[in-house]
Chains A and B, each alone.
Chain A
């Protein structure tokens, strides 16, 4: 129950962050990705920089603190290999992101607007995730990937 309350709180703060930053709007995200359009909007870079200014020291404190306040242990990512799935996966994601301007967070959050286009996007995104899961189960993940906690 306390886990769920923390999840809810963090989801709300994350959601307000995306909303206030303007990153819920795919057109604004594309305005950042369009470096050569003559009307470049650097806002997304500021969003990431501000998030990092908070998260970098915050994570350092959390790591020094060791055990989290509510759960039994912290689950830090342990994967460190720069391998093919990382690079190919990131490239596929980037291609999809550039086509419409939605990444997973803003896509889910935009369900609140009731947009049919967002609904189609999220349904396809979930299908893509399930497809990846099935594909990975078929090809069999390498032992190293099984042992490592993934990044996010």
Chain B
């Protein structure tokens, strides 16, 4: 567990929870990223706060870079083909399941929603299985 970073993980996680609580207390909305992106794509109303949320999400690392603690480049050794398939599955799957790591994994579990607990268990198990196969069966 040489890469384990419990302190920064706890601070960052608490901020993610705080964001979800603020959005609910102030605007009465769920901080689910796939829903926010997906609803931005459909022609409905209420796009304003969603677009602003996504702008804030991208602005955070840019501000952090100015302050000297910006993110490292994302390590994505997969081929462009695999990356495209992965993106398609993430987009299609999260909208089909009406939620992702944030909407189900954090907001849904915090609401004690059995639906979200099942969704989280399923996407975690599927992801763990895929990593096992790609790293230890095919890539071994």
Give the distance in Å from the alpha carbon of A26 to the alpha carbon of B90 in the complex: 14
Give the distance in Å from the alpha carbon of A124 to the alpha carbon of B132 in the complex: 24
- Whether A27 pairs with B75 at a CB distance below 8 angstroms is yes
- Whether B78 pairs with A17 at a CB distance below 8 angstroms is no
Which residues of B have CB within 8 Å of A67?
Answer: 28
Indicate which residue in A34, A54, A110 contacts B21 across the interface (CB closer than 8 Å): A54
Q: How far is the CB of A119 from chain B (nearest CB, A)?
A: 10
- Whether B100 pairs with A17 at a CB distance below 8 angstroms is no
Which residues of B have CB within 8 Å of A44?
Answer: 9
**SS of A interface (majority):** helix
How many chain A residues touch the partner (CB < 8 A)? 118
How many chain B residues touch the partner (CB < 8 A)? 117
- Whether B91 pairs with A17 at a CB distance below 8 angstroms is no
Q: Mark A17-56, 1 if CB is under 8 A from B, else 0.
A: 1111111111110110111110111111011111111111
Q: Mark B52-66, 1 if CB is under 8 A from A, else 0.
A: 111111111111110
- Whether B10 pairs with A46 at a CB distance below 8 angstroms is yes
Indicate which residue in A17, A121, A133 contacts B14 across the interface (CB closer than 8 Å): A17
Q: Mark B103-129, 1 if CB is under 8 A from A, else 0.
A: 111111111111110111011111111
Give the distance in Å from the alpha carbon of A94 to the alpha carbon of B3 in the complex: 23
- Whether A151 pairs with B26 at a CB distance below 8 angstroms is no
Q: Mark A43-82, 1 if CB is under 8 A from B, else 0.
A: 1101111111111101101100101111101111101111
A-B contact pairs, 6 of them (CB 8 A): A6-B49, A34-B128, A86-B118, A93-B100, A97-B126, A128-B91
